[in-house]
């Protein structure tokens, strides 16, 4: 009786069983994320249908039905009974115009050099691990603009024509877009920082002027600023003094984005604790060294996303110059629609698709880079 064993001790481990197939791998993931409930399943199906309904026609248009080569509109005309696809042959034929505008073809090498220099200086500047950052920045911000200016506009000393003059009226396409965007970006940052400091200044007049300036430019649409720079600026100048149209637009765009930049930078300055200022002063730093060495590096680091957003906004806003009669990338594409050689039903769609791809790549690239830099510079705040 007494030796009946009423308990059991397991002496060896139970065999490890694999997790149920419905909770692991792709099936488990799908069950959890896509079909966890009836509502969720309905949403998934609607979502897939929506995606299919949006993406399938796009792929059909841009890739499957597309015409890749051809000499003129004949190639891109819709076949009998068939759909008309994107006419990439037209983009190919117009590609030089989209990139250089009506820049004289024998001088295009100058634009190419500028593009190449720009990339050669920008890429090492953008990669954090490449050395000689200071030299690189000086080259990019001071030397490059001078070289680019003379390369693009031409250089004539006395009677000696080194580089023939090319009027900005014939510039166009991506060249104008990039010139406006890069100049605007490079010039608006220092101006914006100055305005932000002015707005935070303790001197009442400087503060008031900064506030009025910032609020004025932020309150009006860019298109009215462009109208102002193209219609009103000539009225402001003495007789005989004329500005190049591109330069007038550049001034308008720069002032406009400087105001936005100022507000972004001010946000960063406000986030810096007062102790940082006091610490810098205690070390005996005067105003500019304090700003340059202590406050601005921290403040700007905090607002990198805001700064890049302003850049992206500025880049997108460059398209507005077509309204005041300049030919940026979009303007050049828009004006190419009048060419009867390539006039087909799909021409407009193709042109806009091309413009959208180009702009999207630039803007998305900038936003990704800002996320990358944000993580890279995110030092000291992490726990």
Partner 1 sequence: MSVMEQDSAGAPARASLMNDPKIRSIFYQLVLVIAVVSLGYFIVTNTITNLERQNIASGWSFLENTAGFGTNQSLVEYSETSSYGRALYVGFLNTLLVAAVGIIFATLLGFIIGIARLSNNWVINRLAYCYVELVRNIPLLLQIFFWYFAVLRSIPGKREKWSIFDTFHLNIGGMRLPKPIWEPGSEWVGYALIIGIIASFFVSRWARKRQEDTGQQFPVFWSGVGLIIGIPIITYLVTGMPMTLEHPNFVESGPILRQGFELNVGINVIPEFLALTAALSIYTASFIAEIVRAGIQAVSHGQTEAAHALGLRNGPTLRLVIIPQAMRVIIPPLTSQYLNLTKNSSLAVAIAYPDLVSMGGTVLNQTGQAIEIIGIWMAVYLSLSLITSAFMNWYNQRMALVER
Which residues sit at the interface with partner 1, rule CB under 8 A? 33-34, 36, 40, 43-44, 47-48, 50-51, 194-195, 197-198, 201-206, 209-210, 215-216, 218-224, 227-228, 231-232, 234-239, 281, 284, 286-287, 312, 316-320, 322-323, 330, 334, 337, 345, 348-349, 352, 355-356, 359-360, 363-364, 367
For residue 262, the minimal CB distance to partner 1 (Å) is: 10
Question: Measured between alpha carbons, how far is 40 from 35 in angstroms, rounded to an integer?
Answer: 6
**Beta bridge partners of residue 87, listed in sequence order:** 67
Instruction: Tell me the DSSP string of 20-59.
Output: PGGGSHHHHHHHHHTSSSHHHHHHHHHHHHHHHHHHHHHH
For residue 303, the minimal CB distance to partner 1 (Å) is: 15
For residue 374, the minimal CB distance to partner 1 (Å) is: 15
Q: Which residues contact 22 (CB under 8 A, 6 or more apart)?
A: 28, 31
Closest to partner 1 by CB, 109 vs 337, is 337
For residue 224, the minimal CB distance to partner 1 (Å) is: 5
Closest to partner 1 by CB, 148 vs 353, is 353
Closest to partner 1 by CB, 151 vs 324, is 324
C-alpha triplet 113, 110, 356: angle, nearest 5° = 75
Closest to partner 1 by CB, 101 vs 331, is 331
CA 206 to each of CA 202, 210, 212, 213, 343: distance values in angstroms, whole numbers, following the listed order: 8, 6, 10, 11, 56
In the block, which residue shows the tokens 């500025």? Answer: 314
**φ, ψ at 217 (rounded to 5°):** -70, -30
Closest to partner 1 by CB, 222 vs 246, is 222
Closest to partner 1 by CB, 297 vs 313, is 313
Residue 58 burial by Cβ neighbours in a 10 Å radius (0-12, 13-18, 19+): exposed
SS3 69: coil
For residue 12, the minimal CB distance to partner 1 (Å) is: 41
For residue 219, the minimal CB distance to partner 1 (Å) is: 4
How many other CB atoms sit within 10 Å of the CB of residue 230? 19
């Amino acid at each position: 009786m007494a030796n009946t064993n009423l308990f059991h001790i397991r002496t060896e481990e139970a065999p490890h069983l694999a997790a149920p197939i419905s909770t692991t791998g792709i099936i488990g993931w799908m069950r959890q994320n896509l079909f966890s409930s009836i509502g969720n399943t309905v949403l998934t199906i609607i979502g897939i249908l929506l995606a299919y309904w949006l993406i399938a026609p796009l792929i059909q248009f841009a890739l499957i039905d597309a015409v890749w080569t051809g000499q003129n509109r004949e190639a891109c005309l819709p076949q009998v009974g068939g759909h008309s696809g994107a006419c990439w042959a037209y983009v190919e034929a117009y590609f030089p115009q989209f990139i250089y505008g009506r820049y004289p073809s024998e001088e295009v090498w100058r634009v190419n050099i500028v593009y190449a220099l720009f990339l050669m200086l920008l890429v090492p500047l953008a990669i954090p691990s490449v050395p000689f950052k200071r030299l690189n920045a000086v080259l990019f911000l001071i030397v490059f603009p001078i070289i680019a200016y003379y390369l693009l506009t031409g250089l004539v000393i006395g009677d000696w024509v080194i580089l023939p003059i090319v009027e900005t009226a014939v510039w166009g396409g991506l060249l104008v877009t990039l010139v406006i965007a890069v100049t605007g970006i490079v010039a608006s940052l220092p101006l914006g920082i100055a305005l932000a400091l002015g707005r935070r200044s303790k001197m009442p007049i400087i503060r008031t002027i900064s506030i009025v300036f910032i609020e004025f430019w932020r309150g009006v649409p860019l298109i009215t600023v462009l109208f102002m720079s193209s219609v009103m600026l000539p009225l402001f100048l003495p007789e005989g003094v004329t500005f190049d149209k591109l330069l007038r637009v550049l001034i308008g765009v720069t002032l406009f984005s400087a105001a936005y930049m100022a507000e972004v930078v001010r946000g960063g300055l406000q986030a810096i604790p007062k102790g940082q200022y006091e610490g810098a002063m205690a070390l005996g730093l005067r105003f500019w060294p304090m700003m340059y060495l202590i406050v601005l590096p921290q403040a700007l680091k905090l607002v990198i996303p805001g700064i890049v957003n302003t850049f992206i906004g500025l880049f997108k806003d460059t398209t507005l110059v077509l309204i005041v009669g300049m030919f940026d990338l979009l303007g050049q594409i828009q004006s190419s629609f009048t060419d009867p050689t390539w006039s087909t039903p799909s021409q407009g769609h193709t042109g806009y698709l091309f413009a959208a791809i180009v702009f999207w790549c630039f803007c998305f690239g900038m936003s990704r880079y800002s996320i990358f830099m944000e993580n890279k510079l995110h030092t000291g705040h992490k726990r």
